[in-house]
């Protein structure tokens, strides 16, 4: 089983998408800046998220990504699965064959653990996360921090006008 920055980035990015929805598509450049994730890396992750139909894309200027389902209908396990291919704690992929074809001594333990984790994560939706006070306050801070860039773009727009 592996849960590294890859899965964490994916969930964070999806949550950012959920938070900033409603005002049209969100570009990866925005997510990159707000969440401090490399743009090129985000592109890789979103390719997988799109293949798993968790997001849809809009190309061209003003484009970006949008959630492909209701926030209530996307849970954390789905997001991690999409980029990580499975949250599996067994060494055999549930086939029961990690000791040269036979089942090992601890196979069932890892199966139990896997479903424990999966149950927990699949219970939590993006909508749930958005309601949490800790998430809201962090999101608020991030918007404040990067509003300067937003203002800059407004100013430069004025200047060129």
> Of the ranges 22-30, 68-76, 101-109, 119-127, which one interacts with DNA (CB under 7 A)?
22-30
Query: DSSP of 87-119, one letter per residue?
Result: ----SSTTSS-TBTTBPPTTHHHHHHHHHHHHH
- How far apart CA 93 and CA 86 sit, in angstroms, is 9
Binding residues for ligand FES, rule CB under 6 A, total: 10
In the window 3-62, what residues touch ligand FES (CB under 6 A)? Answer: none
When CB distances are held under 5 to 8 angstroms depending on the partner's kind, the choice from DNA, a copy of itself, ligand FES, none that residue 21 binds is: none
- How far apart CA 122 and CA 128 sit, in angstroms, is 11
Return the CA Rg of the chain. 19
In the window 102-131, what residues touch ligand FES (CB under 6 A)? Answer: 103-104, 107, 110
- Residues in Cβ contact with 92 at an 8 Å cutoff, skipping those fewer than 6 apart: 98, 103, 104, 107
Burial class (CB in 10 A: 0-12, 13-18, 19+), 150: exposed
Binding mask 94-133 for DNA (x = CB under 7 A): ----------------------------------------
| Contact residue for DNA among 84, 86, 115, 122 (CB under 7 A) | 84
When CB distances are held under 5 to 8 angstroms depending on the partner's kind, the choice from ligand FES, a copy of itself, DNA, none that residue 156 binds is: none
The alpha carbon of residue 8 and the mean position of all alpha carbons in its chain are separated, in whole angstroms, by 7
102 forms bridges with which residues in the sheet? Answer: 99
Question: What is the DSSP pairing of strand 55-58 with strand 64-67?
Answer: antiparallel
Point out which residues bind DNA (CB under 7 A).
2, 4-6, 9, 25-29, 37-41, 43-44, 46-47, 50, 57-65, 84
Where on the chain is the footprint of a copy of itself (CB under 8 A)?
Answer: 1-5, 8, 11-12, 15-16, 35-36, 76, 89, 91, 99-100, 102-110, 113, 116-117, 120-121, 124, 129, 132, 134-135, 138-139, 141-142
């Amino acid at each position: 089983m592996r849960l590294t920055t890859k899965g964490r980035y994916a969930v964070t990015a999806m949550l950012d998408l959920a938070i900033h929805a409603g005002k049209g598509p969100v570009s990866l450049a925005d997510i990159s800046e707000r969440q401090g994730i490399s743009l090129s890396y985000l592109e890789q992750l979103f390719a997988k998220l799109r293949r798993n139909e968790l997001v849809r894309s809009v190309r061209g200027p003003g484009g970006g990504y949008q959630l492909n389902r209701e926030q209530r209908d996307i849970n954390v396990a789905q997001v991690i699965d999409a980029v990580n291919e499975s949250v599996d704690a067994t060494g055999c992929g549930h086939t029961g064959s990690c000791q040269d074809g036979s089942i090992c001594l601890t196979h069932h333990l890892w199966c139990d653990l896997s479903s424990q984790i999966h149950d927990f994560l699949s219970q939590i939706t993006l909508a749930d996360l958005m309601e949490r006070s800790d998430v809201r306050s962090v999101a608020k801070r991030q918007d404040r921090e990067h509003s300067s860039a937003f203002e800059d773009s407004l100013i430069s727009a004025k200047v060129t006008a």
